[in-house]
C-alpha cells in the first residue's frame, strides 16, 4: 500500500470511529503532513482519495470537512424490509380510476389549469376538516420532505448550529439540515433534563416526530408535550412537528400545532399514509412566517400539481382515504403480530417489548451487530451518530405484496437461524 493510502485509511478510521464528526473541519494538509511526517503532496493525495470515496468535502478557501451522509433510499431489494411506504398493491386501484374519470367529467379544462401557490382552496378546506385544522396558514407541498426543505430555506444558511434533533431521528433530516445537536429519546419522548441542557439561547428550532416517532415508533406522552410546548414559548424556539403517520395511533392525540400554533411549523405527509406515488403533504406555519414560506414554495417548484391535489381532495372527501387508512391499520396489526412472532423465536438475538410502537416499522435492538453485505432492513446507524444504536434494526413491513411478505419472514428466519447457530 502506498503511503498516501495508509494515511487515507487512518483518516477514514477516524471518521468511522466518530473522532472526526460529520460536518467537522479536519486538520489542514499542513498539519497532517506534520503529524504523519510526510510531505504535503502525499497528504493531498490522501485527501483526494477520501473525496473520491465521498468521505470528505472540500470547501474552497475553507478547508476539508467530513461529509454528511447522503443516503438515498432505494427500494427494489428482493426482500425489501427497508422502504417505509405502504405497497401500491393495497391501494384501491378502481377507486382511483373512478376518481380520475370523475375529475375529467366535472373539471373539464380546469383539470390542467393554474393552481394557487398555497394549493387549491377546496383541497385545503377538505384537509382542514379531515385533520381538524384551520386552513388560514395552510400550504400544500409535494410531500413531507419538501416541507423540511422549505423549512431549511426559510430559516436560512447556518441552521445546523440553531437546530436540535431527537436521537435517533429521520436520516433525511440529518443530511438535509446537517444535524449536530441531539437530545436522547426515552419511551415517552425526549429526556427532559437533557433537553434543558441542550436548549441554549442559540437553539431556534426543535425538529420532532412526536407521534409515531421515526424510527422508534413511540408517541410522546401528553405531559412531555406540554412541557416542551411551554419551553418553546418561554425559550422562544420553533417546533418543527413532522407528522408522517399519526393516522396510525389508536386514539387522536393533541399535537404541538394544537397547543402552540404560534411556535409550530406543522408538516403532514399524505404520501406515507397512502402510497409512494402520491407526492403530497401540507404544512401549517406560524402567521409571522407564512409569506416567507409561500414565496419559498413558489421559488422551489411554483406549485404542487393541481391534478394530484384534486385527486387527493376527492379521495379524502368520499371517505376512501379513511377506509384505506383503516384497512392499512388492520393489515399492520396482522403483519406486526407475524413479525414479532419471528423475532420472539430468537431470544438470544432480540429481547424487547414492542407494545408502545405504532406505525408500520419495528425498531429492534439486536444483542449483536448483524453485518451482512445486503441487509434487508434499515440499519440503526442511519438514524443516529451515537454508538447506542449501532445494533438496532428498523424493519418496515408494509412495502411488500402478500407473497413477498411471507417470503421475507422465511428469509428472516433462515438468517436468524444461521446467526444463532454456532
What is the nearest approach in angstroms of a copy of itself to the Cβ of residue 263?
A: 18
Is residue 307 part of the contact set for a copy of itself (CB under 8 A)?
Answer: yes
Please answer whether residues 411 and 77 qualify as being in contact, where contact means their C-beta atoms are separated by less than 8 angstroms: no
Cis peptide preceding 266, ω within 30 of 0: no
3-state secondary structure at position 65: strand
Write out the binding residues for a copy of itself, residues 168-227 only, by CB under 8 A.
Answer: 172, 175-176
Q: Is 302 exposed, middle or buried (0-12, 13-18, 19+ CB in 10 A)?
A: exposed
What is the nearest approach in angstroms of a copy of itself to the Cβ of residue 383?
A: 16
Cα distances (Å, whole numbers) of residue 176 to 63, 157, 184:
21, 12, 20
What is the nearest approach in angstroms of a copy of itself to the Cβ of residue 75?
A: 5
Piece of the chain touching a copy of itself by CB under 8 A; list 114-122, 130-138, 325-333, 382-390: 114-122
Is residue 278 part of the contact set for a copy of itself (CB under 8 A)?
Answer: yes
3-state secondary structure at position 60: coil
Please answer whether residues 35 and 60 qualify as being in contact, where contact means their C-beta atoms are separated by less than 8 angstroms: no
**Choice between 113 and 421, CB closer to a copy of itself:** 113
What is the nearest approach in angstroms of a copy of itself to the Cβ of residue 278?
A: 7
* Site track for a copy of itself across 53-92, x = CB under 8 A: -----------------x-x-xx-------x-x--xx-x-
**Choice between 33 and 278, CB closer to a copy of itself:** 278
| Cα-based torsion angle of the residue sequence 76, 80, 84, 89 in order, rounded to the nearest 10 degrees | 80
Cell of 269: 405527509
Piece of the chain touching a copy of itself by CB under 8 A; list 35-43, 252-260, 305-313, 379-387: 305-313
Please answer whether residues 163 and 181 qualify as being in contact, where contact means their C-beta atoms are separated by less than 8 angstroms: yes
Q: What are residue 205's DSSP bridge partners? A: 163, 238
Cα distances (Å, whole numbers) of residue 283 to 142, 186, 329, 372:
10, 27, 24, 39
Which of 17, 114, 193, 421 binds a copy of itself (CB under 8 A)? It is 114
The rounded radius of gyration (Å) of the Cα atoms in the chain is: 23
**Choice between 64 and 357, CB closer to a copy of itself:** 64
Which of 295, 354, 385, 411 binds a copy of itself (CB under 8 A)? It is 295
Is residue 106 part of the contact set for a copy of itself (CB under 8 A)?
Answer: no
Is residue 294 part of the contact set for a copy of itself (CB under 8 A)?
Answer: yes
What is the nearest approach in angstroms of a copy of itself to the Cβ of residue 55?
A: 14
Write out the binding residues for a copy of itself, residues 128-167 only, by CB under 8 A.
Answer: 141-143, 145-146, 149, 157
Which residues 6+ apart lie within 8 Å of 255 measured at CB?
Answer: 210, 211, 241, 243, 246, 264, 266
Is residue 403 part of the contact set for a copy of itself (CB under 8 A)?
Answer: no
- What's the 3-state SS for 188-239? CEECHHHHHHHCCCCCCEEEECCCCCCCCCCCCCHHHHHHHHHHHHHHCCEE
| Interface ranges with a copy of itself (CB under 8 A) | 70, 72, 74-75, 83, 85, 88-89, 91, 93, 96-97, 100-101, 104, 108-117, 141-143, 145-146, 149, 157, 172, 175-176, 275-279, 294-295, 298-308
Amino acid at each position: 500500500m502506498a503511503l498516501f493510502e495508509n494515511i487515507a485509511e487512518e483518516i477514514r478510521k477516524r471518521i468511522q470511529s466518530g473522532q472526526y464528526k460529520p460536518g467537522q473541519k479536519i486538520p489542514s494538509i499542513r498539519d497532517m503532513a506534520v503529524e504523519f511526517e510526510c510531505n504535503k503532496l502525499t497528504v493531498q493525495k490522501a485527501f483526494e482519495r477520501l473525496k473520491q470515496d465521498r468521505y470528505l468535502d472540500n470547501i474552497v478557501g475553507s478547508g476539508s470537512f467530513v461529509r454528511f451522509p447522503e443516503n438515498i433510499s432505494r427500494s427494489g431489494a428482493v426482500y425489501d424490509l427497508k422502504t417505509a411506504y405502504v405497497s401500491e398493491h393495497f391501494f384501491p386501484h378502481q377507486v382511483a380510476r373512478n376518481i380520475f374519470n370523475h375529475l375529467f367529467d366535472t373539471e373539464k379544462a380546469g383539470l390542467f389549469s393554474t393552481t394557487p401557490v398555497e394549493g387549491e382552496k377546496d383541497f385545503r378546506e377538505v384537509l382542514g376538516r379531515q385533520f381538524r385544522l384551520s386552513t388560514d396558514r395552510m400550504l400544500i407541498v409535494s410531500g413531507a420532505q419538501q416541507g423540511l426543505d422549505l423549512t431549511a430555506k426559510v430559516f436560512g444558511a447556518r441552521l445546523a448550529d440553531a437546530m436540535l434533533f431527537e436521537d435517533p431521528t429521520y436520516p433525511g433530516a440529518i443530511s438535509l439540515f446537517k444535524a449536530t445537536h441531539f437530545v436522547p429519546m426515552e419511551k415517552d419522548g425526549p429526556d427532559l433534563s437533557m433537553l434543558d441542557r441542550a436548549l441554549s439561547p442559540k437553539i431556534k428550532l426543535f425538529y420532532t416526530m412526536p407521534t409515531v416517532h421515526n424510527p422508534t415508533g413511540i408517541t410522546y406522552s401528553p405531559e412531555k408535550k406540554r412541557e416542551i410546548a411551554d419551553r418553546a414559548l418561554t425559550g422562544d424556539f420553533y417546533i418543527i412537528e413532522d407528522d408522517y403517520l399519526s393516522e396510525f395511533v389508536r386514539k387522536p392525540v393533541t399535537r404541538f400545532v394544537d397547543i402552540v400554533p404560534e411556535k409550530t411549523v406543522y408538516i403532514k405527509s399524505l404520501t406515507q399514509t397512502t402510497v409512494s406515488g402520491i407526492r403530497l403533504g401540507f404544512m401549517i406555519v406560524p402567521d409571522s412566517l407564512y409569506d416567507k414560506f409561500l414565496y419559498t414554495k413558489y421559488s422551489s417548484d411554483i406549485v404542487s400539481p393541481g391534478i394530484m391535489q384534486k385527486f387527493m381532495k376527492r379521495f379524502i372527501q368520499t371517505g376512501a382515504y379513511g377506509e384505506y387508512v383503516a384497512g392499512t391499520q388492520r393489515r399492520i396489526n396482522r403483519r406486526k403480530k407475524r413479525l414479532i412472532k419471528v423475532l420472539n423465536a430468537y431470544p438470544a438475538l432480540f429481547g424487547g417489548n414492542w407494545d408502545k410502537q405504532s406505525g408500520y416499522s419495528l425498531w429492534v435492538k439486536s444483542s449483536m451487530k448483524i453485518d451482512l453485505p445486503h441487509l434487508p432492513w434499515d440499519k440503526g446507524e442511519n438514524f443516529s451518530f451515537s454508538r447506542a444504536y449501532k445494533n438496532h434494526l428498523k424493519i418496515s413491513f408494509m412495502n411488500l405484496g402478500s407473497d413477498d411478505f411471507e417470503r421475507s419472514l422465511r428469509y428472516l428466519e433462515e438468517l436468524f437461524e444461521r446467526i444463532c447457530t454456532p
